């Protein structure tokens, strides 16, 4: 149902009771929608169904498992810094 703001003020008990019974109440000012009054139960279901989890809790509940070792490519040979240092020590460039 839609109520003009002044009427909603004057009949607030009726507005609140109707909203509590599950029928949202629209309140207008100068013919334009201003607010909607809903039951607390509807608010809890729609706006805030449950407390938010932090990122660690979300990851711990994640059903996907990843083998991170399989994501690292195998090393190729022993070249790299150790090889360069050995060549420098031997005097070969």
pLDDT for residue 67 = 80
Going by C-alpha positions, the residue among 47, 24, 40 that lies closest to residue 8 is: 24
Q: What is the pLDDT of residues 39-67, one digit of tens each?
A: 999 988 887 666 677 888 877 888 877 78
* 37 close to 57: Cβ distance less than 8 angstroms: no
**Distance in angstroms (rounded) separating the CA atoms of residues 26 and 9:** 13
What is the CATH number for 33? 3.40.1620.10
Residue 62 lies in a domain: no
DSSP bridge partners of 29: 32
What does the DSSP 8-state code read for residue 72?
Answer: S
Burial class (CB in 10 A: 0-12, 13-18, 19+), 3: buried
Which of residues 13 and 75 earns the better pLDDT score? 13
Domain count, the chain: 1
């Amino acid at each position: 149902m839609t109520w003009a703001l002044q009427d909603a003020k004057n009949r607030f008990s009726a507005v609140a009771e109707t909203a509590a019974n599950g029928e949202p109440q629209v309140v207008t000012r100068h013919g334009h929608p201003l607010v909607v009054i809903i039951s607390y139960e509807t608010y809890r279901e729609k706006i805030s169904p449950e407390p938010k989890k932090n990122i660690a809790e979300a990851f711990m509940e994640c059903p996907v498992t990843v083998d991170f070792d399989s994501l690292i490519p195998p090393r190729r040979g022993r070249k790299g810094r150790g090889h360069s240092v050995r060549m420098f020590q031997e005097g070969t460039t």
